[in-house]
Amino acid sequence: MAGIDDQHTKYLLSEDEMPTAWYNLQADLPTPPAPPLHPGTGQPIGPDDLAPLFPAALIEQEVSTQRWIEIPEEVQAVYRLWRPTPLYRARRLEQVLGTPARIFYKYEGTSPAGSHKPNTAVAQAYYNKQAGIRRLTTETGAGQWGSALAMACAFFGLELKVYMVKVSYEQKPYRRVLMETWGATCVPSPSPETEAGRRILAADPASRGSLGIAISEAVEEAVSRDDTHYALGSVLNHVLLHQTVIGQEAQRQLAMAGAEPDVIFACAGGGSNFAGLAFPFVREKLQGKPIRIVAVEPAACPTLTRGVYAYDFGDTGKMTPLLKMHTLGHDFMPAAIHAGGLRYHGMAPLVSLLYEQGLIEAVALPQTQVFEAAVQFARAEGIVPAPESAHAVRAAIDEALRCKERGEAKTILLGLSGHGNFDLGAYQTYFAGQLVDYSHPREEIEAALAGLPRVQG
């Protein structure tokens, strides 16, 4: 490999260099992941159990052990609207920090939805369209996933109904407008449109909703209608699979720069952003390359660092299959931090397995430090990071400062999963000095973990 490039700021691939297959980590895992279990019987579920929710192609991807899964041409055609995404060398940030480290960042904010989420939204919309499905349902909290799926459905002519957590529906009207601009219908959850919603409203007419309730509503509607499926934005194997275009592109771009990463940082909520950047590098690690790969989570929702590895439900309503994962318990209510995309009680089973096997590390950070790093990044590099992505920025800056102390010229790769254009309210709170750091006391986490289902696994 040639020496490291000391000229360029940005490494772009041509459309012809965009990956044509997703990388499936399941082909290379030392041990296979534990199967999902049926929430009623506790037995491993089969494809038929998932058929009311997902098309056959996605159910196959969920369990496939084929290493490369071809990206359909129709999906590639949509990807090309913003992919390949750029890899940047953060030269200005390096100068500000005075570090000998080299910092690269892979930026997914160039998608029209502003984050990595469309990588899987487009694929899911495509496979559903192919299967003759006319409508999709989904849930969304702050709206990042809902808006990505709304755009994808516009491209494939699918209707979309988004159950949006009521408190966000009211507080974040612009994300809702974005979904409507792309043609989706958005309803505040809990809604009177489902059994699950009516039950909640009967008990508490003023309920402000939760992601767990919204999932229940979206799943209930999908199950009850033949023309309608459900789409999930993280956690599941096929969702992580679709994100691996990120890491594959980064590998090629780092090669253009003559660089190999010593350490990689990506934020982890449900795990799809982390997986998308990390999995192709996990493969390199399994082949012997000494790469540290670090998942960065919020101190207020420390799934990997303070959760347990156990079977748990994906939702608070206990409607989903049981997944073997790191979890804080499906009853855990994370503090109301501004990185809404990281407020999830569980972690993707594949990411959890890697952590359990010591192939990846994890660190949990408080949000004040995270926003401090985000502002430093914005003033050096221009891009205002999404609060989620800013977790990786903080971790990368900390590593670069350690390199400065020790005089080490490490190569750091950081995943910048999206921009913060829709999150300026969070920055406003930070500047007002009103950001609160929150660490859940041990007793609170233990109480939530006490509610874990009792199954073998």
Task: Using the minimum distance from each CB to a copy of itself, give the nearer residue, 281 or 422.
Answer: 422
Question: 90: which residues sit within 8 A by CB, 6+ positions away?
Answer: 103, 104, 105, 377, 380, 381, 414
> Please, what is the minimum distance in Å from the beta carbon of residue 70 to a copy of itself?
19
Spatial contact of 180 and 151, defined as CB atoms under 8 Å apart: no
Q: How far apart are CA 304 and CA 346, in angstroms?
A: 8
Pick the closer one to a copy of itself by CB: 43 or 95: 95
Residue 193: CB minimum distance to a copy of itself, A: 20
Closest distance to a copy of itself from the beta carbon of 151 (Å): 6
SS3 351: helix
Closest approach, Cβ 125 to a copy of itself, in A, equals 13
| Residue number, 22 or 377, with CB nearest to a copy of itself | 377
Q: What CA–CA distances, in Å, run from 408 to 94, 99, 156, 380?
A: 13, 8, 49, 22
DSSP 364: E
Is beta strand 87-89 parallel, antiparallel or unpaired with respect to 322-327?
unpaired
If the CB atoms of residues 429 and 439 are measured against a copy of itself, the closer one turns out to be 429
Question: What is the distance between the alpha carbons of residues 293 and 355, in angstroms, rounded to a whole number?
Answer: 10
When the beta carbons of 77 and 409 are compared against a copy of itself, the nearer one is 77
Where on the chain is the footprint of a copy of itself (CB under 8 A)?
A: 8-10, 12, 14-15, 77, 80-82, 88, 92, 110-114, 151, 154-155, 173-174, 177-178, 180-183, 375, 378-384, 419, 421-422, 424-425, 427-428, 431
Strand partners, 258: none
Whichever of 39 and 114 has its CB closer to a copy of itself, that residue is 114
Burial class (CB in 10 A: 0-12, 13-18, 19+), 92: middle
Tell me how far, at minimum, the Cβ of 183 lies from a copy of itself, in Å: 6
Work out how close the CB of 162 gets to a copy of itself at its nearest, in angstroms, rounded to a whole number: 15
- The number of C-alpha atoms within 13 Å of 238 and in the hemisphere containing its C-beta is 22
